[in-house]
Chains A and B, each alone.
Chain A
Amino acid sequence: MPEYSGPLQNVELSNTLWLIPLLPFLGAVLNAVLGWRLQRSPWGKEQAKKLHIGHLGVSSIALGSMLIAFAMSVAQVARVVSLPHDRRFLYNHLWQMVRVGTFDLSFDLSLDVMSSVMLLVVTGVGLLIHIYAASYMETEPSYWRFFSYFNLFIFSMLLLILGDNFLVMFFGWEGVGLCSYLLIGFWYKDYKKATAGMKAFLTNRVGDFGFITGMMILIWGLGGAWASGEYVPDQLPRLVAVTVDDAAHAEHGNATGSHDAHEKASGHDKADSHDKADSHSKADAHDKADAHGKDKADPRAKGKKEQSFVPGDPAYLTFTAFGGAKVIVDNNTTQPLYAPIVHHNVGAGRHTFKVIMGGATEDLEVANAMFQPNKETHLAAIGPVLSFHNLSDQMAIRNDKGVQPFKEGLAGKRLWGLSLITLACIGFFIGATGKSAQIPLYVWLPDAMAGPTPVSALIHAATMVTAGVYMVARLNFLFSMSPTACGIVAMTGAATALFAASIGFFQYDIKKVLAYSTVSQLGFMFIAVGVGAYWAGIFHLMTHAFFKACLFLGSGSVIHGMHAVEHDADRAQDMRIMGGLKAVMPLTRRTYQIACLAITAAPIPLFAGFWSKDEILWKAFTTQNTGWAPGPLIYLMGLAAALGTSFYMWRSYYLTFEGKPATKDIPKKVHESPNAMTWVLATLAFLSTFGGVVFGFSSHFYGGHGEPLLEEWLHPALRHAQVAFQDQGLAMEHALMWGSVGLAILSWRLAKKRYGPDRPKNWEELESKLPMFQLIHDKYRIDELYQATVIRAVLVLRLVLRDMDKYVVDGIVNATGVATRATAFVNGAIDKYLVDGAVNLVAGVTLRAGNRIRQVQTGRIQSYAYGLLGGVAALALLQFLIRYYAR
């Protein structure tokens, strides 16, 4: 039996993780069941009025559950922080769902460094938006329904983030889609809005198809292989014992691999340690091989080798696959252990494990596994496992020759002439394009703005739409195995970023501008995860959640105010009838301005978005992971998109807040929004200001060796991804960085000139004369294109099939009818001359009986019967052909 080792994920058990999603779920259920009754009760009316929020009871259920969930999230993340570097992973096994054959699924939650970031963003920003919404939806008659959906959304999102395997993630994935659908169509009296919800849901189903296909291909690939045209299930062990490498060595070793040029150039010591680690492990392997060689010759050598430690030394067992299974150690049936087992001292030496799976699944055994003293040894599940950490561990396992047999096995597989891993990754990425609104499935997001503005801020900017990015980052160990897929991800991201930014140029609806901006920013995140800078993707996800939520909520505040002068919902969002709101909504304006600074990095490059966007662009420029897609091209596309961002965001700012009011009523009637809303705006503006520099700044900007806080934090989750970046030097980085800032400032100047405080009166007319204006304003008519192609095609196919039922079957019937008549004619001719009148009599009777039957039958039943016969003929023919060729 080969000895395995590798930098596996050490975990800690948690019994309380499930409480976090449970609370919003309870909130949703309580409001769904009691909400409408509660809302009619007069209780707390005055306080609610004072606070400018909806019904106090409903609000306290919704907000209270969110608040506690947030507090618990902070507590759990604090626990993660307090753990040593290599054990920052909380694992909570809830229940086993399926265990049959090689297929094992449990309902498990886990919290690692990456989901910690997501968890804080979702519960934190979620809480803020809940507070905002309590005020924004104050007068809504179905206030309770809104919050019930809202809490349900948070519940689903938490499942998506905390899910330890594909299935739990997919539960959340579908759940957020459903809630998004319910919330987009929340004001369903408007037919258009209900349609927008439908569009979102159906587009997402297309994405889900990709997700499931990717998952199926992956399961299939992990399970078996092609051999000379036949499918052969792999003869993999289901379970192997793996010694966890010295975590420090392993981490440094991989860290140098995954870092960009700065660290590489400056971190000679690390590189050294890497080499050392390498040579060390090689030497180790050599030793072992030697030892094995000696084994045969001299059995005493083995004993000598194993006696190099005291038998009483501790050695630790970890087993997190197959939750609930019974584990018998060294045939000691009296004291069985139950999975998951973490850090259980079994004593150094060799041990035998028997895993009783229960049900119809056969038991597994690991015989004579070596437990090194003072080390953690995992029983790792091999083959089709769906848990993220088990899967990523499987890819990291090395055997005693230093090769990674399971990773190489998977990487070598091909399907339909393509690398299997590439196909699976493309499948997952299609899923991501659906949820995260990338080309070609982005069309639903702008329409989704039909929902209430807090919904747009929470679901369609800060959380749900980033799920695709999160998934790709979560699967970093898979994506990094396929440069082709990474190239597709990065190029799609870059194309989307550029494309959506250009659409943003000439929109008049303030929410539409922000929607296209979101699509574009999501493109940036995909550039990041595509080029291999996973941490930068997560970083931009976080900063984007801050500033985009701030922008959306700011626009909501504006719309809220504009309702005083404009009662039509669509016109209240039209920037052409705003202007000069600076005077009446100072706080909203200030926060919107800060968020604009954060997203554009111009003219002051210090706010949150600058740090993350710059990191992404730099990584795109130096990437070596994208296969066919050249990094500099991705960089240029990203740069152009960033310039566009600067232009359209400042355009929206100036049109809304600066210049002269479009109507005289604005200064008189429009007021600043209530405190509950403005405080939330202020908090988000604060985060947009400092969220970047705190997490993204490091000493390497002035030649030091430090890493940004977030990158260091995310290491444990990304160390299995093997990515490489060119070394372009610090000077180059600074040149690109300040160059792009300079360009962004130019583009800001341009926006200021055209739309600034003293914009020309006829700015609209000037704008409309620009080349391509109409095409861009019409969003490149992509919706129309889809309508004319995909949707039309499906409709036509339906018509064809319906007609086929009608005409083809009729055709067969008619043809048969003609044939029958012809036969009848021949028969008749024979009859006429050969058969006498007695037969005529019988025929007459038959005819009359036939007429009577015909009254019962409709014509169609004959055609049905002929259809049946046609089917018989077709299938029999098919079967004959198969048999014929089989001979």
Chain B
Amino acid sequence: MSANLLLGLSPILIVSLGALLLMMAEALSKLRNEARESPSSSLAMGSAVVLASGGVASLALWLQGPDNLMEARAALAPWLLIDRFSLFFFVILTLGAFLTVLLAGGYLPEHKLDRGEFYPLVLLSTAGAMALAAAGDLLTMFIGLEVMSLGVYAMVAFRRGSPRSVEAAMKYFLLGSFAAALLLYGGALLYGATGKTDFSSISFQLAHTGYANPTNLQQLAWENSTPLMVIGLILVVIGLAFKISAVPFHMWTPDAYEGAPTPATTFMAGAVKAGAFAMMIRVLMMAFGDVRSASWGSGWPPVLAALAVATMTVGNLIAGRQESVKRMLAYSSITHAGYMLVGVVAMAGTARAEANGAVLFYTLIYTISTVGAFGALILCGSRGAEAVSYEDLAGLGKRNPAVALALSLFIFSLAGIPPTAGFFAKLYLFKAAVSGDYIVLTVIALINTVIGAYYYLRVLVFMYFREPLPGAPIAKPMKSGHVAIALVFAALLVLALGILPSKTLQAALSSTISG
């Protein structure tokens, strides 16, 4: 039994034990000569290996089928649910973190931030995100969320000397705590309303206290608990919407993304968002997936649809006004959260399984593409000559064609232009929304992709069609094996999944939640 349990938990265990080991290694390595050997050189690869093994373990479990681990699942449920859904997200999370540490391996030494604690922070946050993705209970959800977030707060403040970084971290921390408090409060209300903390029981209560079995007592119980349920649901959703930076809970995003060191930004835009999305889907589908709560007429779908429309549109329109590429990417990540929310809404429709697969696939592709875009941006600049604004990128296509090509590829994927995977992810997501009968929502999303093309293309215009103004500061591309490996890997994935998406999409489709 215990062996089975360990096997079921292995992805999270590998990552967290790896984090502890690396922390030890880092502490002991203070003995070495720092002048000759930088912490990043060993830690980046070390944590990449840890994350890769975590990812491989998740993949192996996915392939083997979690149904073969019934004992472990029984022992872990309802706190952690090891099903295909969480395993798919484990792969996304470890992949995102894997690319992040590789980027950090190049970025931190270049920018003289080379302190070893970054890597254990990434690993621990990832472990938190994995717990979040697998949580089946309000309590594990909160613990997972906090474990994930605390690490990220520290990562945002990693550039201790820079007031901007510290301010960003402070903002993120304060608002994040605020959101966490809302989430906790929502959880408390849900507990008050149902007397349960795990999602399946909450769902059971919801299904059995409504008009469906209209004995008077039960009906009374339902009516009494309705306001609590509604506020509880909304607060939990908002706590998670904050992490995925849905409008109007997005305001911290550009500041935090810009102030943080770019690898931390990457992690926030990729893994943190993916973890929060996993949780959001699970809460909505497991706890509030009953017919009444998940119907357009009486449940959360319109709320989420409003959130999706606001998120897409506002993110998109403001992104177009940015002069800083990093801020543009921040707003673009908001927009993408909006698209994914469209998919989540679609899950409440008739094409639930399809929408589930579409959102999972989209999350995967979005994570790779956005990490790739930030990574390429890292590679575009070097210390003192960072690539921040569009102007910095002027003429990069000539100065360094390889970097420019990589950045264009990821930008294409984000913009959804074939043959990159981003196109396919969008197509399938919108197709799922259409099958779920959300045509208006899809049309709004499509219009947004048209608007989005404008600011994505501006990057290309500056790289390929502009010469730098004389005397203006230009970004000088840095050299780093770590970053190059990460980018090549991500680029191959983006292309391969754009041309041969079938297997992965099928995997995403079969990665459903099983209570």
Cβ of A444 under 8 Å from chain B: no
Cβ of B471 under 8 Å from chain A: no
Cβ of A223 under 8 Å from chain B: yes
10 more A-B residue pairs beyond the given contacts A99-B502, A885-B297, with a C-beta to C-beta distance below 8 A:
A101-B351, A171-B418, A209-B446, A216-B430, A359-B502, A360-B506, A863-B251, A875-B307, A879-B233, A886-B298
Known: A202-B457, A871-B238, A883-B226. A189 touches B248 (CB 8 A): no
**Chain B, residue nearest A361 (CB):** B506
Cross-chain contact A217 with B318 (CB below 8 angstroms):
no
Cross-chain contact A98 with B502 (CB below 8 angstroms):
yes
A860 to B254 alpha-carbon distance, docked (Å): 13
Cβ of B435 under 8 Å from chain A: yes
Annotate A95-122 by CB proximity to B: 1 below 8 A, 0 otherwise.
1111111110001000000000000000
- Sample (21) of A-B pairs whose CB atoms are under 8 Å apart: A97-B424, A100-B509, A174-B417, A178-B417, A205-B453, A216-B434, A224-B350, A231-B349, A798-B321, A802-B318, A802-B321, A857-B174, A858-B171, A867-B249, A868-B182, A875-B237, A876-B231, A878-B302, A879-B303, A882-B297, A886-B297
A202 to B320 alpha-carbon distance, docked (Å): 13
Annotate B413-453 by CB proximity to A: 1 below 8 A, 0 otherwise.
00001110001100110110011010100110011011101
**Chain A, residue nearest B452 (CB):** A205
Interface-side segment among A193-201, A291-299, A540-548: A193-201
Annotate A77-99 by CB proximity to B: 1 below 8 A, 0 otherwise.
00000000000000000011111
Cross-chain contact A879 with B235 (CB below 8 angstroms):
no
Cβ of B500 under 8 Å from chain A: yes
Cross-chain contact A871 with B249 (CB below 8 angstroms):
yes
Cβ of B179 under 8 Å from chain A: yes
Cβ of B354 under 8 Å from chain A: yes
Chain B residue contacts of A220, Cβ below 8 A: 434-435, 437, 439
Cross-chain contact B179 with A879 (CB below 8 angstroms):
no
A861 contact from B175, B313, B500, Cβ within 8 A: B175
Annotate B211-243 by CB proximity to A: 1 below 8 A, 0 otherwise.
000000000000000110011011101100010
A439 to B314 alpha-carbon distance, docked (Å): 30
Annotate B281-325 by CB proximity to A: 1 below 8 A, 0 otherwise.
000000000001000011110110011000001100110110000
A798 to B319 alpha-carbon distance, docked (Å): 9
Chain B residue contacts of A839, Cβ below 8 A: none
Cross-chain contact B175 with A864 (CB below 8 angstroms):
yes
Measured between C-beta atoms, what is the minimum distance from A424 to chain B in Å? 12
Cβ of A801 under 8 Å from chain B: yes
Interface-side segment among B258-266, B267-275, B459-467: B459-467
Cβ of B505 under 8 Å from chain A: yes
Annotate B126-166 by CB proximity to A: 1 below 8 A, 0 otherwise.
00000000000000000000000000000000000000000
Measured between C-beta atoms, what is the minimum distance from B36 to chain A in Å? 38
A360 contact from B431, B449, B457, B510, Cβ within 8 A: B510
A176 to B419 alpha-carbon distance, docked (Å): 12
Known: A875-B234, A879-B230, A883-B226. A197 touches B437 (CB 8 A): no
Residue positions of A touching B, CB distance < 8 A: 95-103, 107, 167, 170-171, 174-175, 178, 182, 185, 188-189, 194, 197-198, 201-202, 205-206, 208-209, 212-213, 216-217, 219-220, 223-224, 231, 233, 359-361, 415, 794, 797-798, 801-802, 805, 809, 856-858, 860-861, 863-865, 867-868, 870-872, 874-876, 878-880, 882-883, 885-886
Known: A360-B510, A879-B233. A201 touches B453 (CB 8 A): yes
A868 to B233 alpha-carbon distance, docked (Å): 16
Cross-chain contact B418 with A174 (CB below 8 angstroms):
yes
Cross-chain contact A188 with B464 (CB below 8 angstroms):
yes
Known: A875-B237, A883-B298. A170 touches B431 (CB 8 A): no
Measured between C-beta atoms, what is the minimum distance from A841 to chain B in Å? 27
Cross-chain contact B314 with A801 (CB below 8 angstroms):
yes
Cross-chain contact B465 with A194 (CB below 8 angstroms):
yes
Cross-chain contact B179 with A868 (CB below 8 angstroms):
yes
Chain B residue contacts of A876, Cβ below 8 A: 230-231, 234
Chain B residue contacts of A107, Cβ below 8 A: 499
**Chain A, residue nearest B302 (CB):** A882
Cβ of B454 under 8 Å from chain A: yes
A209 contact from B252, B351, B418, B447, Cβ within 8 A: B447
A188 to B182 alpha-carbon distance, docked (Å): 52
Cross-chain contact B431 with A96 (CB below 8 angstroms):
no
A729 to B467 alpha-carbon distance, docked (Å): 64
**Chain A, residue nearest B255 (CB):** A860
Known: A194-B465, A879-B233. A103 touches B447 (CB 8 A): no
Cβ of B343 under 8 Å from chain A: no
Q: In terms of DSSP, what is the predominant structure of the interface of chain A?
A: helix
Measured between C-beta atoms, what is the minimum distance from A745 to chain B in Å? 46
Cβ of B473 under 8 Å from chain A: no
A231 contact from B251, B298, B350, B503, Cβ within 8 A: B350
Chain B residue contacts of A182, Cβ below 8 A: 464
A174 to B424 alpha-carbon distance, docked (Å): 13
Cross-chain contact A175 with B418 (CB below 8 angstroms):
yes
Cβ of B501 under 8 Å from chain A: yes
Cβ of B353 under 8 Å from chain A: yes
Measured between C-beta atoms, what is the minimum distance from A95 to chain B in Å? 7
Chain A residue contacts of B318, Cβ below 8 A: 798, 801-802, 805
A856 to B447 alpha-carbon distance, docked (Å): 41
Chain A residue contacts of B427, Cβ below 8 A: 167, 212
Residue positions of B touching A, CB distance < 8 A: 167, 170-171, 174-175, 178-179, 182, 226-227, 230-231, 233-235, 237-238, 242, 248-249, 251-252, 292, 297-300, 302-303, 306-307, 313-314, 317-318, 320-321, 349-351, 353-354, 357, 417-419, 423-424, 427-428, 430-431, 434-435, 437, 439, 442-443, 446-447, 449-451, 453-454, 457, 461, 464-467, 499-503, 505-506, 509-510
A839 to B166 alpha-carbon distance, docked (Å): 35
A872 contact from B234, B314, B451, B509, Cβ within 8 A: B234
Known: A216-B430, A802-B318, A868-B242. A882 touches B505 (CB 8 A): no
**Chain A, residue nearest B235 (CB):** A872
Cross-chain contact B251 with A867 (CB below 8 angstroms):
yes
Chain B residue contacts of A856, Cβ below 8 A: 170
Measured between C-beta atoms, what is the minimum distance from A441 to chain B in Å? 12
A871 to B353 alpha-carbon distance, docked (Å): 30
A99 to B428 alpha-carbon distance, docked (Å): 11
Cross-chain contact A213 with B506 (CB below 8 angstroms):
no
Cross-chain contact A857 with B465 (CB below 8 angstroms):
no
B299 contact from A175, A871, A882, Cβ within 8 A: A882
Chain A residue contacts of B354, Cβ below 8 A: 100-101, 103
Measured between C-beta atoms, what is the minimum distance from B297 to chain A in Å? 5
A682 to B450 alpha-carbon distance, docked (Å): 43
Chain A residue contacts of B175, Cβ below 8 A: 861, 864-865, 868
**Chain B, residue nearest A232 (CB):** B350
**Chain B, residue nearest A415 (CB):** B439
A510 to B297 alpha-carbon distance, docked (Å): 61
A92 to B233 alpha-carbon distance, docked (Å): 52
Interface centre among A96, A871, A886 (most CB of B within 10 A): A871
Cross-chain contact B178 with A868 (CB below 8 angstroms):
yes
Cross-chain contact B501 with A98 (CB below 8 angstroms):
yes
Chain A residue contacts of B182, Cβ below 8 A: 868, 872
Cross-chain contact A213 with B446 (CB below 8 angstroms):
yes
Chain A residue contacts of B298, Cβ below 8 A: 882-883, 886
**Chain B, residue nearest A204 (CB):** B453
Q: Which 4 A-B pairs have the closest CB atoms?
A: A886-B298, A188-B465, A194-B465, A231-B437
A197 contact from B233, B235, B428, B465, Cβ within 8 A: B465
Cross-chain contact A98 with B435 (CB below 8 angstroms):
no
Measured between C-beta atoms, what is the minimum distance from A37 to chain B in Å? 13
Measured between C-beta atoms, what is the minimum distance from A362 to chain B in Å? 12
Chain B residue contacts of A857, Cβ below 8 A: 170, 174
A876 to B242 alpha-carbon distance, docked (Å): 15
A759 to B143 alpha-carbon distance, docked (Å): 88
Measured between C-beta atoms, what is the minimum distance from A383 to chain B in Å? 11
A281 to B499 alpha-carbon distance, docked (Å): 45
Cross-chain contact A100 with B357 (CB below 8 angstroms):
yes
